[in-house]
Structure 1
Amino acid sequence: MTATHTQTPTATTPREVVPAPRSAWVTVARREIVVRLTDKAFLGGTLLTLVLICGFMGWQVWDSSRTSSYTVATTQDDTVMGERLAAEASGIDEGVAVRSRAVPDAATAQDLLRAEEVDAWLHSTDGGWVLTTLDSAEGGLTRVTQDVVRSAALEDQAASLGTTAEALVEGSTVTTEFLRGDVERSQLAQGVSFAFAFLFYIAALTFGYVIANSVVEEKQSRVVEIIATSIPVRQLLAGKIVATTVIAMVQMALYAVVGLVGLSLTEYSELIFAVTGPVAWYLVFFVAGFVALAALWAVAGALASRAEDVQSTGTPLLMIVLGVFFGSFFLDGLARTVASFVPPFSAVLMPARMLDGDAVWWEAVVALAILLATAVVVVRVAERLYRRSLLQTGGRLSIRQAWSSPE
């Protein structure tokens, strides 16, 4: 009688670990993230964008902190005013510095001005003062000179009346209010809104084509047929969407942090708290809008049978992304308000409206709810199209063919 021996696995027996169907998307997502984070092209592009952001912010800091220096010629009779201008210029405008240069006569002042050895000639006339420059007005110097001359004239008139300049101007102070908002904030809002639209455009196209090409490469090499025997296709799709969304979100957050830090160093630093809220909203809207587009880009890859087909199957998505990008600039008034509730335009327009002060919090909540609901529907539809077209290798499929194809 032959004895039957059953081999009991030991701790050293190698075993193949197969992910459970419900957690397979985690394995897929982890693999996609690792591949992307080790891609030199992706890392180089991210680094280049950060360098551009830092460079732009650095230029803003330099431009706002630089001082314009002027040399102003005055004759002997006007030396006192020239010296006062040099002494008070920086106090009026910290970006303007003036050096007074005494000259013997008007002819010498004009000669020095033509030779560009001085920037301006300040001289008195019967009706006041004249600031002569070579061929263009120096805005900063002109404003400072006007303030200094006005103060000097006011002091002289007050002294002749036996009073003070402060008493003469009492009650004449004018403060400003803005019916349509501060122009400085408006300019900042336009710049940040452009950044919203541009980053969404770049991310949607860059990561979109990455997903589509990844899907079609797996399909063309028949690797997906092996993967489909191990895990559900919907888990494969979920892993790709989650991984790409996480990477895109981290990238956008990194850009936002660097941008806000740079903004705090510019002349707009006082408005940073007004910008932080809309930026946070933008990141939330970005995730919802990007998930829907990522699912559709995966479908674009599944509909293709070759890498060359992605240009065709991805064209509708390209048009959508371009529409969002240009719509953020050209839509105005009622059309802009309505579009800020319509996905995927809301992913960019609603944060931009909040930045402009044109939308309140409940409008953002409503727009986000609509965008999330749309994203759920789009992902469900995309999942069916992806599942039914992924294993079809007979050529490029249309959406109708993919929808009606058997699983």
Structure 2
Amino acid sequence: MSTQTDQRPTDDRADDRAADRRSDEPAWLLVTRREVVSRITDKSFLIGTVLMVAMIAGFIGFSAWQDGRTDQVTLAVTPDAAAMGQAVVDDGPEVDDQVEVSLTDVDDRAAAERLLTDDEADAWLHPVDGGWQLTTKSSEDDSLTSVVSAVVRQQVLAENAAGTGVTLEQLEAGSTVDTGFLQGDAEKAAVADAVGFVFVFLFYFAALVFGMQLASSVIEEKQSRIVEIIAAAIPLRHLLAGKVLGNTALALIQVLLYAVVGLVGLSFTSYKSYVPDLSGPAAWFIAFFVAGFVALACLWAVAGSLASRTEDLQATSTPLTMLMLVMFFGGLSLDGRAQVVASYVPPVSAVVMPKRILAGGVAWWEPLLALGLLAAFAALTVWAGERLYRRALLQTGGRVTLRQAWSSAE
């Protein structure tokens, strides 16, 4: 008797070995890989990501261009305003160095109005009863108005002070008001507010988009009865874990990409000195994002399992949508003690605590405590969501309520 050798091609044997390795992997890991691969090879997902990156880069580029741009402004002055107009030209750069004013002398009011009408001058400065007036054709130039107002005020105060025998410095002594914060750095307030808005928006956008897609995929599998075949092969908790982890990984990749593009772009603007200070809060935001997203993703999966048709998703996801709106507007509008309290309340803390970290004045233990509470909430949500998901997923007789899903038999 002769022994037959395996004559199959090498590629076939390699495929068999790869299949054997995949069969040894946990089911949840296989589902996670399927979720990630199916999305990153989807053209709409890739196009959406590229467009968002382009929008972020374009906005930052436009902001950098605006910061370095100097406005060329032509100011018409009649003979009785020539001295004040020259003062605006000389002292204006001290008020706003991005506004460059040049003068055009006119003989009278009619000549000034004619220049404005013909767009040969941007504004006309002239004295009126009780002060000065800056006339434009149809719309106000805020930058020019600020410069002219500051210079005119300074010149008039100097003249009034000279008439009373004191200097301008003596006249203005003690009249300035500086701003400051009990906690945090006042100079970073505007940047912190802007970046805080970006954090809140990114969390809301990612949780809504990926959550809806997760719920829709659950409904599609349930409606087509494919989930019954999957349930015969792997435990449903593994299916849920794979879907949640896969979508969390995809959302995290997107958010990290947007954050890197934003920080790199910011380094090319006038705010580049703040980039090192933003790195720490950005890292905290990523940690809070992961914990909060896992909790919400599990809830989105439950919303999908409760529905039997795509049309049912609006009803089953309404409470979750309302929760996300509360998080979004709460993250933007809360301040003071309400903000402090909300920064420890899951899942709102996922967006509120990173904003507090940005503003400064947060003790080292506060983010750790808030993150621990959020992680505990996520664990509780996963536990309850896994039970609801398993008990509702295979029920196809119509929309399932939370009470029915919780109390139904395995």
Match of 2:402? 399
Q: SS of the counterpart of 1:99?
A: strand
Q: 1:234 to 1:84 in 2, by over 3 A?
A: same
Aligned residues: 397
Does 1:320 pair with 2:323?
yes
Aligned-residue Cα RMSD (Å) equals 3.9
2:375 aligned to 372, 385, 392, which one?
372
The one-character-per-residue Cα deviations of 1:272-309 (angstroms, maximum 9, x if unpaired) are 33333222211110100111111122222222222222
The one-character-per-residue Cα deviations of 1:215-264 (angstroms, maximum 9, x if unpaired) are 22222222222222322222222111111000000111111122223333
Tell me whether 268-277 or 230-239 shows the greater mean CA deviation. Answer: 268-277
Match of 1:298? 301
Match of 2:272? 269
**Mapped contact 1:131–1:142 kept (Cα < 8 A):** no
**Mapped contact 2:88–2:151 kept (Cα < 8 A):** no
Q: Amino acid of the residue matched to residue 39 of structure 1?
A: D
| Aligned mates of 1:7, 1:226 — CA distance in 2 | 38
Does 1:188 pair with 2:191?
yes
Match of 1:118? 121
**Mapped contact 1:61–1:266 kept (Cα < 8 A):** yes
Match of 2:216? 213
2:43 aligned to 28, 40, 61, which one?
40
Match of 1:179? 181
1:285 aligned to 285, 288, 292, which one?
288
Q: Amino acid of the residue matched to residue 53 of structure 2?
A: L
Does 1:229 pair with 2:218?
no
Match of 1:65? 68
**Mapped contact 1:200–1:286 kept (Cα < 8 A):** yes
Cα distance, 1:383 vs. partner?
A: 1.8
Match of 2:337? 334
2:257 aligned to 254, 257, 261, which one?
254
2:103 aligned to 100, 104, 107, which one?
100
| Aligned mates of 2:312, 2:141 — CA distance in 1 | 59
Q: Amino acid of the residue matched to residue 258 of structure 2?
A: Y
Does 1:54 pair with 2:57?
yes
**Mapped contact 1:278–1:351 kept (Cα < 8 A):** yes
| Aligned mates of 2:372, 2:307 — CA distance in 1 | 32
The one-character-per-residue Cα deviations of 1:131-188 (angstroms, maximum 9, x if unpaired) are 754477765446656559969998xx99xx9xxx9x999x999894523666663333
| Aligned mates of 1:309, 1:242 — CA distance in 2 | 25
Structure 1 unaligned residues grouped into runs of 5+: none
Tell me whether 61-70 or 13-22 shows the greater mean CA deviation. Answer: 13-22
Does 1:387 pair with 2:390?
yes
The one-character-per-residue Cα deviations of 1:377-407 (angstroms, maximum 9, x if unpaired) are 2112222222233333333322233233333
Q: SS of the counterpart of 2:74?
A: strand
| Aligned mates of 1:9, 1:303 — CA distance in 2 | 51
Does 1:197 pair with 2:191?
no
| Aligned mates of 1:147, 1:182 — CA distance in 2 | 30
Q: Amino acid of the residue matched to residue 347 of structure 2?
A: P
Does 1:28 pair with 2:31?
yes
Q: 1:20 to 1:139 in 2, by over 3 A?
A: closer
Q: Amino acid of the residue matched to residue 221 of structure 2?
A: E
**Mapped contact 1:85–1:98 kept (Cα < 8 A):** yes
The one-character-per-residue Cα deviations of 1:83-115 (angstroms, maximum 9, x if unpaired) are 675466446632111223345678755764565
Q: 1:228 to 1:182 in 2, by over 3 A?
A: same
Which is greater in Rg?
Answer: 1
Q: 1:236 to 1:140 in 2, by over 3 A?
A: closer
| Aligned mates of 2:113, 2:223 — CA distance in 1 | 79
The one-character-per-residue Cα deviations of 1:40-74 (angstroms, maximum 9, x if unpaired) are 22223223322332332233223322222222345
| Aligned mates of 1:356, 1:38 — CA distance in 2 | 39
The one-character-per-residue Cα deviations of 1:348-393 (angstroms, maximum 9, x if unpaired) are 0110111222533311110001111111121122222222333333
Q: Amino acid of the residue matched to residue 240 of structure 1?
A: K
**Mapped contact 2:215–2:303 kept (Cα < 8 A):** yes
- TM-score with structure 1 setting the length: 0.80
**Mapped contact 2:87–2:151 kept (Cα < 8 A):** no
Structure 2 unaligned residues grouped into runs of 5+: none
Q: 1:240 to 1:84 in 2, by over 3 A?
A: same
Q: Amino acid of the residue matched to residue 96 of structure 1?
A: V
Q: Amino acid of the residue matched to residue 64 of structure 1?
A: D
Q: SS of the counterpart of 1:364?
A: helix
| Aligned mates of 1:242, 1:112 — CA distance in 2 | 66
The one-character-per-residue Cα deviations of 1:311-368 (angstroms, maximum 9, x if unpaired) are 2222222121122112223433322211111111011011011122253331111000
Task: Work out the percentage of aligned pairs sharing the same amino acid.
Answer: 49
